[in-house]
Amino acid sequence: VAWTLFVSGDSYASSSFSTRSGILDTRTGYLVKNVETLQLYLEGRRYHAPDVNYWGITFADDDNRFYATVATKGKTYLVEGDIKSWKARTLRRNVECPSLSPDGTRIAFKKRVREGAQDPWRLHVLDLRTMRETPVAETRSVDDQAAWLDDSTLAYALPGRAKGTSDIWTVPADASAAGPSLLLSGASSPSMVAAGG
């Protein structure tokens, strides 16, 4: 299990947000309070900076490999992490809130497509073998970590019609012409739980 907390007070100079992400192995009780202790390799070189933040952790089925967003110096990256060696390496820039597909071959993520606060993100899917990214048919800005309902469908939250509410929508995980569909009104940030889980 992984989590991310938003924190303040890390720096007087920073106007951006700061996070703390942790990992708990629910079988063994092994706890990592802060993944910022990872040995990070940024574009092939060992990297450390006080502004490094991680969020959006998603796990592979092997109980060792994980993917996450790392941010530093105003840029975001997709990292692949290894729990046993406690190292992470960047794979690609401009990736936030990654979500690994059930078959372990693709990452759904939000990509910043414009600067500023007005509708900055679009959902994309990254093929981990080819590193080719494809935008999905959802054209609205999605500020959520998408969940895979199955190997071909993504679910995510968008603001609802009523102020302060949100709804869950689905969209095919490929570039098909099929557009988004409303799945559930009055719900937020979906998460899949395995049968019996």
Per-residue pLDDT of the chain (197 residues; tens, 9 = 90+): 877 776 655 444 444 667 778 878 888 888 778 888 999 999 999 999 999 999 999 999 998 999 999 999 999 999 999 999 999 999 999 999 999 999 999 999 999 998 877 879 999 999 999 999 999 999 999 999 999 999 999 999 999 988 899 999 999 999 777 899 999 999 988 887 766 55
Q: What ranges in 13-52 are assigned the alpha helix state H? A: none
74 burial type by CB count under 10 A (0-12 exposed, 13-18 middle, 19+ buried): exposed
Whole-prediction pTM value? 0.88
Write out the CATH class of domain 2-143.
mainly beta
Q: Which parts of 8-161 are beta strand (E)? A: 18-24, 31-32, 39-42, 45-47, 53-59, 65-72, 75-82, 87-93, 96-100, 106-112, 121-127, 133-135, 147-150, 153-159
Q: Which parts of 60-139 are beta strand (E)? A: 65-72, 75-82, 87-93, 96-100, 106-112, 121-127, 133-135
Q: Which pLDDT score, from 0 to 100, does residue 16 have?
A: 61
Quick one: tokens of 28? 């063994």
